[in-house]
A and B are shown apart, each in its own frame.
Chain A
Amino acid sequence: MALLQISEPGQSPDPHQRRIAVGIDLGTTHSLVASVRSGVAECLPDDEGRVILPSVVRFMPGQGRQIGFDAVQSAASDPVNTISSVKRFMGRGLNDIADRSKLPYEFTASEQGMLSIQTVQGPKSPVEVSAEILATLRYRAEDTFNDDLYGAVITVPAYFDDAQRQATKDAAQLAGLNVLRLINEPTAAAIAYGLDNASEGVYAVFDLGGGTFDISILRLTQGVFEVLSTGGDSALGGDDYDQALADAAMARQPALQATTAEDKTVLKAAARAAKEALTSADVVTLNAALSSGTLSVQISRTDFEQATQALSARCVTAVRKALRDAQLAKEDVQGVVMVGGSTRMPQIQQAVADFFGQAPLNNLNPDEVVALGAAIQANQLAGNNAAGELLLLDVIPLSLGIETMGGLVERIIPRNQTIPTAMAQDFTTYQDGQTALALHVVQGERDLVQDCRSLARFELRGIPPMAAGAARIRVTFTVDADGLLNVGAKEQISGVEARIDVKPSYGLSDDQIATMLQESFTTAQADMKARALVEARVDADRMLLATRSALAADGQLLSADERASIDALMVTLLAAIQTEQDAKALEDCTQALAKGTEAFAAERMNHSIQKALAGQNIQTL
């Protein structure tokens, strides 16, 4: 039986007022989805009560696919079609994948340089594979709430560049998710611990996962999370601890070997089980039935610590380097947040405590903490927490610039600028009569173009012929709150213009996304048209709701005529939601209302800014 809701007098609960928003941790080895329910953030479990979804997708002959635990089981028997750790390939070109030969996959590259993996179902881009994982989490959330999702906050590593962020956003779009915001993983972890409410200061986020180690140094000032530095080791994680423990155990019984693939798997699993048991026990017995005999050795916590000392030392070295990059001493760090399942190991807790001279923050589940922080932010962005004070002003992780003569980079937006931001720089022509200008957008801290990441190339054409140096070309970089870039170029004298949403180098064009959605994977079994219509209805509802709340709050700003025309558009849209069967026609009605309320939105903004200033003045008086 459903629980009855009791509301405060005069505040009847409207079921449509609460929007379902989730936070998603799209991880290298596993992914999670979380949501705020009854004021508390919690991870959502699948049918079998598991909150973790392994980030593994297997494409099967025909249309089928396995995602998560099922796919993990098949990895050994069908390695070519079972894709794991796809996050490493996001927003990357073929040449960026260093150890291609060690991976079981067959890589191909599209004309735009975008990477794909050849599967039994044809080439699959990392964006498509990630979208499978995101869609699975989306369905999990929709089943949990038995309602459509309003939107999601998705986390990305702090060091992700524009191409990697864009690829993540494309994957979400492909999975039918409305992305409220991309936020940095360490920032999410800090939010989960409520550090945004805490006093100002510097925090370290120590993230040791299955296969990667990330350390981030954050500064919190007045609700602004600033990433001061990031570092780590992309080939250091819990798996290495398992291996070291397995090696130590084998050394005790030299007569045995584990050479076959099966023996190795059995041994690794036994080592992992022993490692986990050692988190609470002082001594455990490691048992493994190998083909050459049964391995059975007593392992103490001290044995384990000694066997893995070198690994823990590598973590500490990376922490030192991150602090040096941030130009800080370890005494400057006010708190250390522990993220990732491998931080449960007592020797890691101890190493961190010893280094920083303080106990780390570890009372939240380290596997879940990033997803929980994302959920809190999602809840806030969906407008469910009106009293919320959390304002997340992220900074851009890497400088953005364009190529100038001689392969040098002219920085237009320096790193660590608070976003959103827009910055412009004037350039000129190099030759007499030059009528076109090639612009090459790059990201990175180095001075040479070849050392930076190439994001996009575009051309400004139709510049009237002038003497060299006479044209005034203003290049404007705009970075939105997600850290995504848009570049515009305008010749000031003639007014010739060109602009580009930066994504083509490795991302997907809107057309490609549209095509993929049509060929869709998420809708393999569902009726495409019906789905499009449902999504158009959700969008339309969202627009109506937004307009209604805007009118309720600031309707008095409108003249009677303006109000009447908005009302008319709302009536049309409401009718269309109920009767329209064509998704495109419904989208057009939603667009009409969006356009019709644009001036009102601008007016409201002016109003709210003035209100903010008025409030300030009263305080200062």
Chain B
Amino acid sequence: MISLQANDFELFDVPARFEQDRAQLDARWKALQREAHPDRFAAEGAAAQRVAMQWSVRINEAYQRLKDPLKRAAYLCELQGAPVQAENNTAMPAAFLMQQMEWRENLDDTESPEGLEALADEVSSEQRRVQQELARLLDEVQDPLQAVGQVRALMFIERFTQEVNAKLDRLT
């Protein structure tokens, strides 16, 4: 029995794993909203409207989390008993921090769009590497404690990507 308390994977009827088929998530989201969106119950009473709204909100919430690799990974860690607790735990391996510092210096020193694009490419390939590592840790070896470290790394990378993009916007 599907209920509002079902977890995101159960709600979307997809396996609880990091690797996901985006097209399948999109299709499932659309199918669920077709059933649950308040517009479908516009002709019915306020009670149906309220329930529809709850479901629709819940489906959107799950979709936002499932389609985003970072949010999905953090959610999986939490489901597997290893919450990320980003605000309480920022300890990162020294090598990772060194790379971050290098990137930041690079960002500060780069004033050409081409240079920034090159930096953005480098960051994005690191992002893909971390995501692959997450897929291995969560789906294959099932080690959520190890995965938590990679989730934090991914958070750093995403924040940095935003900064690179912001500077690119300013220059172009």
**A residues touching B (Cβ–Cβ < 8 Å)?**
19, 150-151, 180-181, 221-224, 380-383, 391-393, 417-422, 478, 480-481, 542-543, 545-547, 549-550, 593-595, 597-598, 601-602, 604-606, 608-613, 615-617, 620
Partner of A481, one of B37, B46, B55, B61: B37
The verdict on A223 contacting B30 (CB below 8 Å), with A550-B48, A616-B13 known, is yes
By the criterion CB–CB under 8 Å, are B35 and A421 in contact?
no
Is B150 an interface residue when CB atoms closer than 8 A count as contact? no
By the criterion CB–CB under 8 Å, are B61 and A616 in contact?
no
The verdict on A420 contacting B56 (CB below 8 Å), with A382-B43, A609-B35 known, is yes
By the criterion CB–CB under 8 Å, are B45 and A481 in contact?
no
Q: Mark B23-44, 1 if CB is under 8 A from A, else 0.
A: 0101110111111111100111
By the criterion CB–CB under 8 Å, are A609 and B32 in contact?
yes
The verdict on A19 contacting B13 (CB below 8 Å), with A421-B60, A601-B48, A611-B35 known, is no
Which residue on B lies nearest to A479, using beta carbons? B57
By the criterion CB–CB under 8 Å, are B44 and A546 in contact?
yes
Set of chain A residues within 8 Å of B26, measured between Cβ atoms: 221-222
Is B118 an interface residue when CB atoms closer than 8 A count as contact? no
Partner of A392, one of B3, B13, B32, B39: B39
By the criterion CB–CB under 8 Å, are B61 and A421 in contact?
yes
By the criterion CB–CB under 8 Å, are B1 and A606 in contact?
yes
The distance from the CB of A396 to the nearest CB of chain B, in whole angstroms, is 11
Can you list 21 A-B pairs, Cβ within 8 angstroms, ordered by A? A381-B39, A383-B42, A391-B33, A418-B60, A421-B57, A545-B43, A546-B45, A550-B48, A594-B47, A595-B47, A597-B45, A598-B47, A601-B45, A601-B47, A601-B51, A602-B47, A606-B3, A610-B1, A616-B27, A616-B28, A617-B13
By the criterion CB–CB under 8 Å, are B53 and A481 in contact?
yes
Q: Mark B44-71, 1 if CB is under 8 A from A, else 0.
A: 1111101111011100110110000000
A380 CA to B39 CA, complexed, in Å: 9
Is B98 an interface residue when CB atoms closer than 8 A count as contact? no
By the criterion CB–CB under 8 Å, are B51 and A602 in contact?
yes
Is B2 an interface residue when CB atoms closer than 8 A count as contact? yes
Set of chain A residues within 8 Å of B33, measured between Cβ atoms: 391, 393
Q: Is the interface of B mostly helix, strand, loop or mixed?
A: helix
By the criterion CB–CB under 8 Å, are B45 and A609 in contact?
no
A615 CA to B31 CA, complexed, in Å: 9
By the criterion CB–CB under 8 Å, are A594 and B35 in contact?
no
The verdict on A610 contacting B53 (CB below 8 Å), with A481-B38, A601-B47 known, is no
By the criterion CB–CB under 8 Å, are B31 and A478 in contact?
no
Set of chain B residues within 8 Å of A150, measured between Cβ atoms: 43
By the criterion CB–CB under 8 Å, are A391 and B36 in contact?
no
By the criterion CB–CB under 8 Å, are B53 and A608 in contact?
no
By the criterion CB–CB under 8 Å, are A612 and B55 in contact?
no
Which residue on B lies nearest to A178, using beta carbons? B42
By the criterion CB–CB under 8 Å, are B51 and A612 in contact?
no
Which residue on A lies nearest to B55, using beta carbons? A605
Set of chain A residues within 8 Å of B63, measured between Cβ atoms: 418
With most chain A CB atoms within 10 A of its CB, the pick from B24, B32, B48, B50 is B48
By the criterion CB–CB under 8 Å, are B45 and A382 in contact?
no
A595 CA to B1 CA, complexed, in Å: 24
By the criterion CB–CB under 8 Å, are B2 and A391 in contact?
no
By the criterion CB–CB under 8 Å, are A608 and B35 in contact?
yes
By the criterion CB–CB under 8 Å, are B43 and A19 in contact?
yes
Set of chain A residues within 8 Å of B45, measured between Cβ atoms: 543, 546-547, 593-594, 597, 601
Set of chain A residues within 8 Å of B13, measured between Cβ atoms: 613, 616-617
A221 CA to B28 CA, complexed, in Å: 14
A474 CA to B109 CA, complexed, in Å: 41
The distance from the CB of A597 to the nearest CB of chain B, in whole angstroms, is 6
The verdict on A606 contacting B2 (CB below 8 Å), with A222-B30, A383-B42 known, is yes
The distance from the CB of B13 to the nearest CB of chain A, in whole angstroms, is 5
A616 CA to B51 CA, complexed, in Å: 22
Which residue on A lies nearest to B12, using beta carbons? A613
A541 CA to B131 CA, complexed, in Å: 56
Task: Enumerate the 9 nearest inter-chain pairs by beta-carbon distance, A residue then B residue, closest first.
Answer: A383-B43, A598-B47, A381-B42, A612-B35, A601-B48, A546-B44, A601-B47, A422-B57, A608-B35
The distance from the CB of B43 to the nearest CB of chain A, in whole angstroms, is 4
Set of chain B residues within 8 Å of A549, measured between Cβ atoms: 43-44
By the criterion CB–CB under 8 Å, are B48 and A480 in contact?
no
With most chain B CB atoms within 10 A of its CB, the pick from A593, A612, A617 is A612
By the criterion CB–CB under 8 Å, are A601 and B39 in contact?
no
Which residue on B lies nearest to A604, using beta carbons? B48
By the criterion CB–CB under 8 Å, are A612 and B39 in contact?
no
Set of chain A residues within 8 Å of B57, measured between Cβ atoms: 420-422, 478
The verdict on A481 contacting B56 (CB below 8 Å), with A223-B30, A391-B30 known, is yes
A383 CA to B41 CA, complexed, in Å: 8
Set of chain A residues within 8 Å of B52, measured between Cβ atoms: 605
Apart from A420-B38, A478-B57, A546-B43, 8 more pairs, CB < 8 Å: A19-B43, A380-B39, A420-B56, A420-B60, A547-B45, A598-B51, A608-B35, A612-B36
The distance from the CB of A455 to the nearest CB of chain B, in whole angstroms, is 20
By the criterion CB–CB under 8 Å, are B42 and A612 in contact?
no
The verdict on A481 contacting B39 (CB below 8 Å), with A421-B57, A597-B47, A598-B47 known, is yes
